Amino acid sequence: MKRTTQNFNRRSFLKAGTATGAVALASPALVNEAFASSGEMTLMDWSDYWPDEMLEKFTAETGIKVNYIGIGSNEELINKTKASQGAGADLIGPTNNRSLQWGPLELLQPFDMSRIPLDAANPAMVKIGPDAWDFGGKGVTWIPHIWGTEGMAWRTDLYIPQSADGVPSYGEVWAPENAGKTMMRAHSGMLGAGLFMEASGQMDPGSIWAAYESEENMRKTWGMVADWCIERKSNLKLIWNDADSQKNGLLNDGVLIGQTWDGPPLALKTAGEPVTYQAPAEGAMAWVDGLAMPKGAKNIDAVYELIKFAYVPENAGKAIDKHGYNSPILTADTFADSNYAKNFAEAYPGDALANLNAWPAEAPWYADVRTEYVNKFISA
């Protein structure tokens, strides 16, 4: 199976974001007098994506209060939306590769694309919506919001990657010399372990990606991965489940190195903490988190105002300094702290960007089988 999918090409989406030329943008948060009165909406998105300062500025400019429900996984988001039959929030944040799980649920409604300043965003990321999130030709239900990767983070004052060239590996989570001082998330940490097993000759090359093709492949590969991880489970200090637990692990819980999202450690690095993040030798896992509107959304006008606000480069750029991820909004990076470019270059040195692993689309059967093996690992 290719590492790239039709809804996310790891090379083209990065190149498209650097295109030159003027971009027509909507003017920042201009709302008419009638709408700028009191209003309210509910946002259910990843817990660190919307800094307090950003939402406070939005409320000041529009009069709209945002009730922000933070989530830590796609599974949590799907389960909460299913439980409310799409009525629990006005705007939510699913990841690009979960379209095959959302489609059959019929819990999302199409956007009115004429109300969204799509020219402000990276066109390759915008294309994910019509390519993968237009279910039955009824309209696009997903737009890009934030992109990032999962790779390796460590304490720069206490740890140095073990390879001769200084490039970290997923395998360092499981190295005996790091016992009791590492962390990972269960399902993605197991996938990282599989990539390390391939790279170190302990599993056939391509097995992890072939697992997305059929349940037979999945069970064969993940059975091996689960057994390997269970044998080494005592090596872990922490199994994290959200951004805060990653930060706490590195700052307060004795973790030296771990497999993490890019945002939390880079936010710590920007704040001056002795923490860094880098794409591993096996390739960082890349994803794009988007915005979608559940079918039970009630505050539709407020939704479009928040989207327009988030698509203003200055607003998106200022948020980068808080959450540490990357924005699909063109020129947003120029409004981020001056350390952003330096941190980005250090996180993806050499050919790291060319070697990103685009997270493939996950069918419902894949998610179910993965949960089975994750539960086996956690309960071991």
5 within a domain of the structure (yes/no)? no
What residues contact 42, with CB distance under 8 A and at least 6 apart?
66, 67, 69, 88, 89, 90, 91, 299
Q: Are residues 21 and 170 in the same domain?
A: no
Q: Are residues 78 and 226 in the same domain?
A: no
Q: Are residues 270 and 297 in the same domain?
A: no
What is each CA distance from 81 to 121, 148, 150, 283, in whole angstroms? 27, 24, 25, 32
Q: Are residues 232 and 368 in the same domain?
A: yes
CA angle 315, 320, 326 (to 5 degrees): 110
What is each CA distance from 181 to 114, 167, 254, 255, in whole angstroms? 50, 19, 6, 5
Query: How many domains are there within the chain?
Result: 2
Q: Are residues 262 and 335 in the same domain?
A: no
Q: Is the pTM of this model over 0.75?
A: yes
Q: How does 230-246 read in b/e, with b if 16+ C-beta sit within 10 Å?
A: beeeebbbbbbebbebb
Q: Are residues 173 and 257 in the same domain?
A: yes
**Which residue is listed with tokens 């790779």?**
151
What residues contact 241, with CB distance under 8 A and at least 6 apart?
72, 73, 185
190 within a domain of the structure (yes/no)? yes
CATH code of the domain covering residue 169: 3.40.190.10
Considering Cα of 81, then 99, then 150, then 376, what sign does the dihedral take? positive
Q: Are residues 244 and 370 in the same domain?
A: yes
- Residue 232, domain extent: 149-286+355-379
pLDDT (tens, 9 = 90+) of the chain, 380 residues, equals: 334 333 444 334 444 443 333 333 333 343 443 344 449 999 999 999 999 999 999 999 999 999 999 999 999 999 999 999 999 999 999 999 999 999 999 999 999 999 999 999 999 999 999 999 999 999 999 999 999 999 999 999 999 998 888 899 999 999 999 999 999 999 999 999 999 999 999 999 999 999 999 999 999 999 999 999 999 999 999 999 999 999 999 999 999 999 999 999 999 999 999 999 999 999 999 999 999 999 999 999 999 999 999 999 999 999 999 999 999 999 999 999 989 999 999 999 999 999 999 999 999 999 999 999 999 999 99
Task: Quote the distance between the C-alpha of residue 21 and its chain's center.
Answer: 28
Q: Are residues 333 and 185 in the same domain?
A: no
240 within a domain of the structure (yes/no)? yes
